[in-house]
């Protein structure tokens, strides 16, 4: 496969960011886009100079030119679209969550195996240089065994009861919102850095606005609208919450999620406490890794390729002091995924979240929801006590 041809399904926030990041890769070209309406797909195709556009998912999947499909649709379509792509034997990169239930995501894992394709899920925060550096320090035991991990994923774009988006609609989003939408990123990033799975959880979730004012018409993620006309709707999904977690080796941890914390825009943080030091990273200031020490001065490691390990330096494309961030993490994820596509089936070490990782996160979300409902510890594998 010399030039890999890509089809994008979806026309919202994530579709745009995928197209922009793909543009920065060599040997990869976006050749088609589909939307829920032909008009939307046409507009995006014109905006991004994409040669082919379709008004249905099926037409894009059937396009024989397309080798790889990016699923950037709203959550309720993830399973059906992913299934169709895999059945067609095409490589798949899906936005998270992989499906609406773990039963569906399990089916997708089996399907991907039987079709021998590369299948991944967009957990992009693994692919920042200082996250990779933190992982390497932990893997090598530089600061000794880890005993406690805590962190946050806080946003404010759903702070007011007049804020609305399809993610508030359980039919299109699924039962869990803040946990599935952003808590899942915290879990994936931290499990990746620690190289350990979360095996049991105790959750306490809260819906701050049980009733919201839904504007008449569509509102994109992160956008708010003037309230000229609205209808009141009941909200069941969580706006915020706290989750205590246990990892497979007995490490303890906790995280807080919120989409209603004024001033916090995309505040994904983790702090890992090990025997001889603490590592702290904050997505809003992604080019620093804080290293806490007891018997010496604390340190701040800057994202300068000359100061990073080779694995982390490979994710830093500009010299120190030249800031890289969210779009660059997505680009790094795609470089990693497309290296796997190019070398398939002889894929060497890759770091993107696989379809199996996406399935396990589905099981984890379900355990968190169950724990909140039943107010008790729930094991992740089985959903039982």
Q: Which is nearer to ligand SOE, 13 or 377 (CB)?
A: 13
- Interacting span for ligand SOE (CB under 6 A) from 41-49, 168-176, 179-187, 363-371: 179-187
Q: Which is nearer to ligand SOE, 46 or 284 (CB)?
A: 284
For residues 49 and 330, what is the distance between their CA atoms, to the nearest angstrom? 21
Closest to 342 in 3D by CA, of 68, 126, 71: 68
Q: Which is nearer to ligand SOE, 66 or 130 (CB)?
A: 130
For residues 385 and 380, what is the distance between their CA atoms, to the nearest angstrom? 9
CB under 8 Å to 120, separation ≥6 — which residues?
Answer: 92, 93, 94, 337, 340, 352, 353, 354, 355, 358
- Interacting span for ligand SOE (CB under 6 A) from 51-59, 181-189, 229-237, 375-383: 181-189
CB under 8 Å to 35, separation ≥6 — which residues?
Answer: 10, 11, 41, 44, 53, 54, 55
- 182 contacts ligand SOE (rule: CB under 6 A): yes
Place of tokens 């409902």: 373
Could you give the string, one character per residue 257-276, with x where binding to ligand SOE holds by CB under 6 A and - elsewhere?
A: ---------x----------
Closest to 272 in 3D by CA, of 255, 296, 259: 255
Give the nearest residue (CB) to ligand SOE: 181
Q: Which is nearer to ligand SOE, 35 or 97 (CB)?
A: 97
Q: Out of 181, 188, 239, 328, which residue is the one contacting ligand SOE (CB under 6 A)?
A: 181
Q: Which is nearer to ligand SOE, 149 or 182 (CB)?
A: 182
Cβ 257 to ligand SOE, closest distance in Å? 10
Q: Which is nearer to ligand SOE, 182 or 335 (CB)?
A: 182
- Interacting span for ligand SOE (CB under 6 A) from 23-31, 61-69, 180-188, 317-325: 180-188
For residues 379 and 245, what is the distance between their CA atoms, to the nearest angstrom? 10
Cβ 189 to ligand SOE, closest distance in Å? 11
For residues 270 and 254, what is the distance between their CA atoms, to the nearest angstrom? 10
User: How far does Cα 27 stand from its chain's mean position?
Assistant: 24
- 17 contacts ligand SOE (rule: CB under 6 A): no
Cβ 178 to ligand SOE, closest distance in Å? 8
Cβ 185 to ligand SOE, closest distance in Å? 6
From the number of C-beta atoms within 10 Å of its C-beta (0-12, 13-18, 19+), residue 44 rates as buried
- 77 contacts ligand SOE (rule: CB under 6 A): no
Q: Which is nearer to ligand SOE, 47 or 223 (CB)?
A: 223
Residues 211-240 binding ligand SOE (CB under 6 A) are 221
Helix (H) or strand (E) holding 353: strand 353-354
- 301 contacts ligand SOE (rule: CB under 6 A): no
Helices assigned H by DSSP within 28-101: 38-48, 57-62, 75-87
Strand partners, 202: 244
Residues 134-173 binding ligand SOE (CB under 6 A) are 155
Cβ 333 to ligand SOE, closest distance in Å? 11
Q: Are 58 and 84 a contacting pair, CB within 8 Å? A: yes
State the residues that interact with ligand SOE by CB under 6 A. Answer: 155, 181-182, 185, 221, 266
């Amino acid at each position: 496969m010399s030039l890999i041809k890509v089809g994008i399904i979806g026309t919202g926030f994530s579709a745009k960011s995928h197209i922009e990041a793909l543009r920065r890769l060599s040997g990869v070209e976006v050749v088609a886009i589909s939307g829920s309406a032909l008009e939307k797909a046409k507009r995006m195709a014109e905006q991004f100079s994409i040669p082919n556009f379709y008004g249905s998912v099926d037409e894009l999947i059937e396009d024989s030119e397309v080798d790889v499909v990016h699923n950037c649709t709203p959550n309720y379509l993830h399973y059906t679209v992913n299934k169709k792509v895999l059945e067609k034997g095409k490589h798949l990169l899906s936005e998270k969550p992989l499906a609406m239930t773990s039963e569906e995501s399990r089916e997708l894992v089996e399907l991907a195996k039987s079709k021998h394709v590369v299948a991944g899920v967009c957990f992009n925060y693994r692919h920042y240089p200082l996250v990779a550096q933190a992982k390497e320090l932990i893997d090598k035991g530089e600061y000794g065994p880890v005993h406690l991990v805590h962190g946050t994923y806080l946003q404010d774009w759903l702070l007011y009861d007049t804020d609305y988006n399809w993610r508030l609609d359980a039919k299109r989003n699924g039962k869990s919102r803040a946990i599935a939408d952003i808590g899942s990123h915290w879990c994936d990033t931290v499990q990746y850095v620690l190289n350990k799975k979360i095996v049991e959880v105790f959750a306490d979730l809260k819906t701050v606005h049980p009733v919201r004012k839904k504007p008449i018409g569509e509102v994109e993620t992160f956008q708010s609208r003037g309230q000229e006309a609205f209808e009141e709707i009941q909200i069941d999904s969580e706006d915020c919450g706290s989750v205590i977690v246990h990892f497979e080796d007995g490490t303890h941890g906790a995280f807080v999620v919120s989409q209603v914390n004024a001033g916090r825009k995309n505040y994904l943080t983790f702090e890992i406490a090990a025997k001889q030091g603490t590592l702290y990273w904050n997505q809003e200031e992604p080019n620093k890794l804080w290293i806490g020490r007891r018997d010496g001065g604390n340190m701040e490691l800057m994202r300068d390729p000359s100061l990073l390990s080779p694995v982390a330096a490979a994710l830093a494309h500009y010299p120190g002091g030249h800031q890289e961030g969210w779009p660059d993490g997505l680009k790094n994820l795609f470089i990693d995924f497309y290296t796997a596509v190019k070398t398939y089936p002889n894929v060497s070490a890759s770091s993107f979240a696989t379809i199996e990782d996406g399935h396990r996160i589905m099981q984890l979300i379900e355990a968190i929801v169950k724990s909140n409902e039943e107010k008790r510890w729930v094991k992740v594998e089985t959903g039982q006590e």
